[in-house]
Amino acid sequence: MSAAPAAAHTVTQSEQRSHQRYPLELEIEYRLLNRARSQRLGSGATVNISSGGVLFRADEFVPSGTPIELMLNWPFLLEGVCPLRLVMRGHVVRSTGTEIAISCRHHEFRTAGTGAARNLKPSPRVRSRG
Amino acid sequence: MTAHSGVPTVLIVDHDVGLVCWLGEVFTEIGLQAIPAVNCRQALAFSDQLAADVDVVAVNPGLPGVSRMIQTLKSAQPNLKVILIQDHDDEPNRAPPADATIERPSGWQTISRTLWHQKLRGVLRLLNTNPPPGEGTPARI
Is A88 within 8 Å of B16 when comparing Cβ atoms?
Answer: no
What is the rounded average pLDDT of the residues A66-78? 85
Task: Give the pLDDT confidence score for residue A113 in this predicted structure.
Answer: 52
Q: Which residue of B has its CA nearest to A1?
A: B38
Residues of chain B above pLDDT 70, percent: 83
Assembly ipTM? 0.82
- CB spacing of B5 vs A78 below 8 angstroms: yes
Domain that holds residue A62: 13-119
Rounded distance between C-alpha atoms, residue B30 and residue B117, angstroms:
7
Which pTM does this prediction carry? 0.81
Residue B8 has pLDDT above 60, yes or no: yes
Mean pLDDT of B20-41: 95
Question: Residue A115: inside a domain, yes or no?
Answer: yes
Instruction: Kindly state whether A111 is in contact with chain B, defined as any CB-CB distance less than 8 angstroms.
Output: yes
- What mean pLDDT do residues A113-128 have? 46
Residue A69 lies in a domain: yes
Whether A49 sits inside 8 A of B22 (CB atoms) is yes
Query: Are B81 and B126 a contacting pair, CB within 8 Å?
Result: no
Q: Structural domain tally of chain A? A: 1
Which comes out higher in pLDDT, residue B106 or B12?
A: B12
Contact yes or no for A62/A100 (Cβ under 8 A): yes
Angle at B109 between CA A5 and CA A68, to 5 degrees: 35
Quickly list DSSP for A80-115: S---EEEEEEEEEEEEETTEEEEEEEEEEEEEPPHH
B37-69 confidence digits (pLDDT tens)? 999 999 999 998 888 889 999 999 999 999 999
Looking at residues A115-127, what average pLDDT do you find? 46
CATH number of the domain bearing residue A34 = 2.40.10.220
- pLDDT value at B22 more than 80: yes
Contact between B35 and A77 using a beta-carbon 8 Å cutoff: yes
Per-residue pLDDT averaged across A53-77, rounded? 91
- Res. A76 pLDDT band, cuts 50 70 90: confident
Q: Which CATH architecture has domain B2-127?
A: 3-Layer(aba) Sandwich (3.40)
Angle between helices B40-49 and B66-76 in degrees, nearest 10: 20
What per-residue confidence (pLDDT) applies to B63? 95
Mean pLDDT over each residue of chain B, to the nearest integer: 86
- Reported as a pLDDT band with limits 50, 70 and 90, residue B96 is confident
Query: In the structure, what pLDDT confidence band is assigned to residue B139 with cuts at 50, 70 and 90?
Result: very low
Structural domain contains residue A95: yes
Choice among A7-11, A40-44, A50-54, B14-18 with the minimum mean pLDDT: A7-11
Q: Which of A92-106, A108-122, B86-100 has the highest mean pLDDT?
A: A92-106
| Domain ranges (residues) in chain B | 2-127
The pLDDT of A112-123, averaged and rounded, is: 45
Adjacent-strand bridge partners of B85: B102
Pairing status of strand B81-86 against strand B100-103 = parallel
Count the neighbouring beta carbons within 10 Å of the beta carbon of residue B65.
Answer: 14
Q: Supply the pLDDT for residue A59.
A: 86
Q: Say if residue A96's pLDDT is above 80.
A: yes
Q: Which of B4, B12, B21 to mutate to test the interface with A (most CBs of A within 10 A)?
A: B21
